[in-house]
Amino acid sequence: MEYERERKRLVNSLREYNISEKTLNAIKKVSRHLFVPSVQIANAYIDHPLPIGYAQTISAPHMVAMMCDFLDLREGLNVLEIGAGSGYNAAVMTEIMGKKGNIYSIERLEKLAVFAQENLKKAGYSNVEILCKDGSHGLPEHAPYDRICVTASAPCTPLPLVEQLKPEGILVIPEGKRYQRLYRIRKDMEGNITKEDCGGVIFVPLVGDHGFNMLCGN
C-alpha cells in the first residue's frame, strides 16, 4: 500500500501520547495523503495540522487520535461530527467503529463539504454522511447520538448538542477563543452532565448561531 512506511513512522511517533492500540490501528489504515490538498501531500504524514483552504485546517494526527480516545468509540454507535473539513477525522472514526454504526458529519462551508465527501469516497469510506449547514444546532433529525465530536472551538457548549446526546453519551468539544481548552462532557442515565478539562488546544472557530458570530466579532 502507498505510503505505508510513512504511516508506520507516524503511528510510532504517536505512541508518546499513550494512544490506544485500536486508534493507532485506525491511523495506520487511513491514507491521510488523500485528505490534504495536492501541494501538501509531501507533508501528509508529519504530525502537524495542515491548511486545507478557506482559512481552515486538518488537525494534527495526535489531536485526531486523542479526540477518538476521549470519545471511546465502538462498533454500532450513532455519531455526529461538527466540522467535516477534509473528512480525515471522520475516516479515522469510521475505521475504529467498523462497518456497523453511523457517522454524520456537518460542514458549514460548501466547498469543504464537497472536498470531504470526495476525499472519503477516494479513500473508500461510504458510510459517512456529509451535510452542509450550521452544525452548532446539531442534527436533530438523526438524534440522539452516542457520541458527538466537535472539531472547531465554540465560545461555550452549544445547548442543542447537549440535548441531542443520549444518556451515557460523550461529547468532546474545544471551547474558547484564543485560550482554548478541550472538554469531555458526559451525560449519565439520569441526564446529569459532567464536564472534564482535557487540556489546552488550538482549533479554528466554530462559526454559527451557537458558535462565534463572525459579523459582530464575539
Q: CA 105, CA 143: separation in Å to the nearest integer?
A: 13
Q: CA 77, CA 202: separation in Å to the nearest integer?
A: 27
- Closer by beta carbon to ligand SAH, 106 or else 170: 106
The 8-class DSSP code of residue 138 comes to -
If one asks whether residue 211 binds ligand SAH (CB under 6 A), the answer comes out as yes
Residue among 164, 158, 165, 150 nearest 198 (CA): 150
- Closer by beta carbon to ligand SAH, 153 or else 185: 153
Site for ligand SAH (CB under 6 A): how many residues?
25
Cell 462532557 sits on residue: 185
Of the residues 26, 34, 44, 106, which one makes contact with ligand SAH according to CB under 6 A: 106
Of the residues 30, 152, 162, 171, which one makes contact with ligand SAH according to CB under 6 A: 152
Catalytic residue among 59, 105, 136, 153: 59
If one asks whether residue 59 binds ligand SAH (CB under 6 A), the answer comes out as yes
- Closer by beta carbon to ligand SAH, 56 or else 185: 56
CA 176-93-98 angle, 5° bins = 160
**C-alpha cell of 108?**
458549514
Residue among 43, 54, 116 nearest 85 (CA): 116
Count of residues for the chain? 218
Q: CA 184, CA 174: separation in Å to the nearest integer?
A: 9
If one asks whether residue 57 binds ligand SAH (CB under 6 A), the answer comes out as yes
- Closer by beta carbon to ligand SAH, 82 or else 168: 82
Active site residue 59: yes
CB of 135 to ligand SAH, least distance (A): 3
Of the residues 24, 58, 93, 185, which one makes contact with ligand SAH according to CB under 6 A: 58
User: What's the burial of 194, exposed, middle or buried (CB within 10 Å: 0-12/13-18/19+)?
Assistant: exposed
Of the residues 26, 63, 71, 112, which one makes contact with ligand SAH according to CB under 6 A: 112
Residue among 40, 42, 78, 63 nearest 152 (CA): 63
Indicate which residues carry an active-site annotation: 59
Write out the residues near ligand SAH by the rule CB under 6 A: 56-59, 82-83, 85-86, 88-89, 106-109, 112, 134-136, 151-152, 204, 206-208, 211
